[in-house]
Amino acid sequence: MRHFALLFGALLLTIAGMGNAQSAAPAAGTGLVYAITEATAGLPTTSLYLHEVGSKTGRLLYRDTSEENRILTKIAGSDVVGAARAVPPADVYLMMGEASVRDVAMCGDALCRLRVSDSGEEQVAPEPILVIPLCFSDASPYGLWNRAPVFAVSPDGDRVALCALRAGDVRFERPAIRVLGRDGTEEWRILLEDRDLYISDLAWSPDGRLLAYAVMPQADEHTLEDALLRKAGVYLADVEAQTTRLVHQCYADAVAWGPGGDEVTVAARAGDIWSERCVARVLVMPSGREAAEFSLHARVSAAAYSRDRKWLAVQSRNAGRQQIWLYPSSEGWGQLFHEVPDESGQLSLLGWLQASAAEREPAGTGAAPGRGGSPPPGEG
């Protein structure tokens, strides 16, 4: 069995209640980036934190302070899951813009980059990278837009794949993925097969040539058609050849490229589309063959591998608490890294960074992550 065989066995022991064992820790200086969005009477406020794994200490990276240029959130859930990403070793990408749009022609939504330094608590304004206005929905009767699309930035930062329903004031006939170059040029537009489908997540290969994305039906139990269910699953797009195909049929909420360079891990609903149980499946690309499967603790919202692809972080919700779990891809048990009660705000796992410049190349291991960790400043 491949390197996930030991992980699968260990997770079964954990589920059976056989205790918690020490395992190797992520590389020294490794940290997880996440956001907390607080729903207030006015505009929701989003704060970004970097939580160092070995020392279990967190620090504030950035907090919204301007009404004119805010981190864009999804209206339905007031969260930024999928609409912000950490790209190792030191970059956090965010969609930012005005809270509401009054003049379509003047909309300045932009993909921005926050470059994380070793400095303490100071907040540096994210740098605009690409202007990408009004991409994810139409306006509501109240003048609000759900403009926070799911996106992924290639490891070298040269491309961004962006889920879109429109480009500016031009609406597409079906949901799409826009593959944009560094200068904003649209290199490819992948249209989904049906207007009632959506992209739940996407992930780039290490070389930036392939794009894995998960497609889900957008319907309720009364309107869901079997034809839509058959189109749900993990697709693999070759950006250079501009070809795409379904490689694994499932109901997937999150996709992460790894642990191997030719492997993708998908967090999929076990059973039918309404199931609350979730499993992780490791798929070998480009065939989509399943190499391993293991249980996860609850429905997953986001998943990301560390830079060395030895650790998988997943975000889930369980009994009124939002949690981040760590799973080693070689041996050991899944460990609860951090949790936030629902009433504290909406948690969004953005991914991994190296917490210090001195450790931004692969390094040795430190202390094992503790259960739950210590909260960052401002959280109880």
As given in the structure block, the two tokens for residue 306 are 């560390």
Where exactly are the structural domains of the chain?
A: 4-17+29-39+46-353
Q: Return the pLDDT at 222.
A: 64
> At residue 83, does pLDDT exceed 50?
yes
Top pLDDT among 318 and 245 is at 245
Query: CA 75: distance to chain centroid?
Result: 17
Give the list of residues 6+ apart from residue 103 with CB closer than 8 angstroms, or none: none
User: Is the distance from CB of 240 to CB of 154 less than 8 angstroms?
Assistant: no
| CA atoms within a 13 Å half-sphere pointing along the CA-CB vector of 118 | 6
| CA atoms within a 13 Å half-sphere pointing along the CA-CB vector of 174 | 14
> At residue 363, does pLDDT exceed 80?
no
Q: Return the pLDDT at 76.
A: 64
Q: Return the pLDDT at 11.
A: 37
> At residue 6, does pLDDT exceed 90?
no
The pLDDT confidence band at residue 2, using thresholds 50, 70 and 90, is very low
DSSP secondary structure string for all residues of 101-142: -S-GGG---EEEEEE--S--S--PPPEEEEE--S-S-PBPTT
SS3 76: coil
Distance CA 297, CA 320 (A): 14
Domain 4-17+29-39+46-353 has CATH 2.120.10.30: yes
The pLDDT confidence band at residue 358, using thresholds 50, 70 and 90, is very low
> At residue 8, does pLDDT exceed 60?
no
Lowest average pLDDT, out of 136-140, 179-183, 302-306, 348-352, goes to 136-140
Distance CA 327, CA 349 (A): 15
Top pLDDT among 326 and 330 is at 326
Q: Return the pLDDT at 36.
A: 94
As given in the structure block, the two tokens for residue 169 are 């004031």
> At residue 370, does pLDDT exceed 50?
no
